[in-house]
Amino acid sequence: MSDHPAAALDGASPRASAASDPAGPSLCEGLPPLPADGAVCARDFPEAHTIRTVIARLGDKWTLLVVGLLGDGPARFTELQRRIDGISHRMLTQTLRALERDGLVRRTAYPEIPPRVEYALTPLGRSLLEPTLALVRWAAEHHPELTTARDRYDAAHPEPD
């Protein structure tokens, strides 16, 4: 699991893309020149594995919600469970373990009875907060459009009974 570190995506050496340039640098910037066969970018998509590793961590059902909540400050296990509607005991544990393993969350257990455990974002975890919140903001802003589009699509594509 040792890809190239931070190759590409870093800025510098932009290349004209086939379409408009809406969000600044593309996914593929900084890659070696293309074989000039008209392909736009990223033949074999070297960052794909890196991206998928991260997305796999972030993209599960609960991770982003946990990170988002911890962004407001440290919290205990039960506190998190109470706030995240519908999460099961097992999934919260599992999510927190994975985040801890990846160095995004720090777990602090106080040797008391009954036990008390606090979870908090690490600096690395906090650095994730920014792109996460950007996505959350996008979600909040555009959710109505998604719903509308969905309804329209479903109306136009009735499933054959």
Map the footprint of DNA across residues 76-115, applying CB under 7 A: 76-79, 86-91, 93, 96-97, 107, 109, 114-115
Site string for DNA, 1-40 (x = CB under 7 A): ----------------------------------------
How many whole angstroms separate alpha carbon 117 and alpha carbon 107? 7
State which of residues 34, 41, 91, 117 lies at the interface with its own copies (CB under 8 A).
Answer: 41
> Judged by CB under 8 A, which stretch of 88-96, 109-117, 118-126 contacts its own copies?
118-126
Q: Does 117 bind its own copies (CB under 8 A)?
A: no
Q: Does 20 bind its own copies (CB under 8 A)?
A: yes
Give yes or no for a contact between 133 and 68, defined as CB atoms under 8 angstroms apart. Answer: yes
Q: How many other C-beta atoms can be found within 10 angstroms of the C-beta atom of residue 131?
A: 10
How many whole angstroms separate alpha carbon 40 and alpha carbon 143? 30
- Residue by residue, DSSP assigns 6-47 as S-SSSSSS----SS--TTSS-TTTTPPPP-SSS--S-SS-TT
Name the residues that contact DNA, by CB under 7 A.
56, 60-62, 76-79, 86-91, 93, 96-97, 107, 109, 114-117, 160
